[in-house]
Amino acid sequence: MIGTGGTIAGRGESAANTPAYACSVLGIDEILSAIPEAAALASFRVEQLLQIGSENFNNDHLLKIGKRISDVLKDDDVDGVILTHGTDTIEETAYFLHLTLKSPKPVVVVGSMRPPSAMSSDASLNLYDAILVVIHPASRGKGTLVVANDEIHTARDVMKTNSFKLEAFRSPYGALGYVVEGEPRYYRKPSRDHTVRTEWSIDALDSLPKVDIVYAYGALEQEVIGTVAADARGLIIAGTGNGNIAARMVEPLRAAARDGLHVVRASRTGNGVVIRNGAQPDDDYGWLVVDDQAPQKARILLMLAISSHSDDRSALQAAFYRY
Ligand code: ASP
């Protein structure tokens, strides 16, 4: 069990006053010791890898977490890993692990919406459920999972869709399963390639190319393209609707693509597919589209795809349809 901080490691002065809690203060050993039932389920090794809210995570944190989990999974004594994590970017870290770990052993990422000190906190139950999931034989080979609010989600699809409710995590096609009365029950499997069936290994990754995201809105102006980091290799446009691009934005984005920036049309709706050569002639403009990946998932995937395919745009496009 590897701790990285977040609300699941938070503590408030009052059980009723949850907004005032401090995030990322409890150690992973303290979080685990709040669940006496855990000892009967498995034997644990715990380690504190980070102690920060996940809104602070950058690519170096992703690499650090991935490499550590990869090392731990190579140990024959280890049957699976639980990563405790803040909920804000849990879906990004989980997807990164899902695409880069090279083991069929289960990895479960878990956080909570309320700190352990709050009334009706979800911290202990989410962690207890994560233990039940990681030790269950049916969890093997399913890649990285996110457990929250009685549900088991695939890292590919899950997103935080609410800022405060316990029912914050949703997958567009539904959860893979539930944890019911202490028993994981699966109803579906991830269908896209992951872990041992991807082209990336965390052990071989030492840096990630920079990919930025621009969020479209009614009055978005051309100038925003100039604010994209000079060292960015890719740009995800969280476009309106079906990855739509305002007419005034087309020329700057065409110029950016000609200059070598990989421009990807995604949808700020966070749901549904973006049709290639639909709203825009992507072939003519040298642009890419997501399949159904939300912008924050598309950033993770494009970083990895650029790391292995560099500037081969047809290979980059294929990655969105494969994973
Ligand atoms: N800010 C926290 C984080 O993502 C929120 C949480 O854990 O729910 O680390």
Whether residue 7 contacts residue 20, with contact meaning beta carbons closer than 8 Å, is answered with no
Which pair of tokens denotes residue 166? Answer: 């316990």
Q: Measured between alpha carbons, how far is 278 from 17 in angstroms, rounded to an integer?
A: 49
Q: Measured between alpha carbons, how far is 137 from 107 in angstroms, rounded to an integer?
A: 12
Angle between helices 295-309 and 313-322 (to 10 degrees): 130
Instruction: Name the residue with the closest Cα to ligand 1, atom 7.
Output: 86
Whether residue 271 contacts residue 279, with contact meaning beta carbons closer than 8 Å, is answered with no
Above 90 in pLDDT, residue 19? no
Q: Measured between alpha carbons, how far is 134 from 177 in angstroms, rounded to an integer?
A: 13
For residue 299, which of 219, 247, 256, 238 has the smallest C-alpha distance? 238
Residue 153 CB partners (closer than 8 Å, separation 6+): 145, 146, 147, 169, 171, 175, 176
Substitution candidate for ligand 1 out of 25, 26, 83, 88 with most atoms within 8 A of CB:
88
Q: Is 86 in the pocket of ligand 1 (CB under 6 A)?
A: yes
pTM equals: 0.98
Does residue 4 carry a catalytic annotation?
no
Whether residue 265 contacts residue 287, with contact meaning beta carbons closer than 8 Å, is answered with yes
Let me know the angle formed at the C-alpha of 171 by 163 and 116, rounded to the nearest 5 degrees. Answer: 45
For residue 6, which of 30, 34, 29, 26 has the smallest C-alpha distance? 26
Residue 257 to residues 8, 225, 233, 267, Cα–Cα distance (Å) = 42, 11, 10, 19
273-312 pLDDT tens trace: 999 999 999 999 999 999 999 999 999 999 999 999 889 9
Q: Average of pLDDT values for 54-77?
A: 98
Catalytic residue among 7, 93, 198, 240: 7
The pLDDT of residue 68: 99
The pLDDT of residue 17: 67
The pLDDT of residue 14: 87
Ligand 1 center–CA 56 separation, angstroms: 10
Q: Measured between alpha carbons, how far is 297 from 154 in angstroms, rounded to an integer?
A: 13
Ligand 1 center–CA 112 separation, angstroms: 8
In the Cβ-directed half-sphere of 114, how many Cα atoms lie within 13 Å? 18
Ligand 1 center–CA 127 separation, angstroms: 15
Alpha helices (H) along 192-278:
223-226, 247-258
Above 70 in pLDDT, residue 150? yes
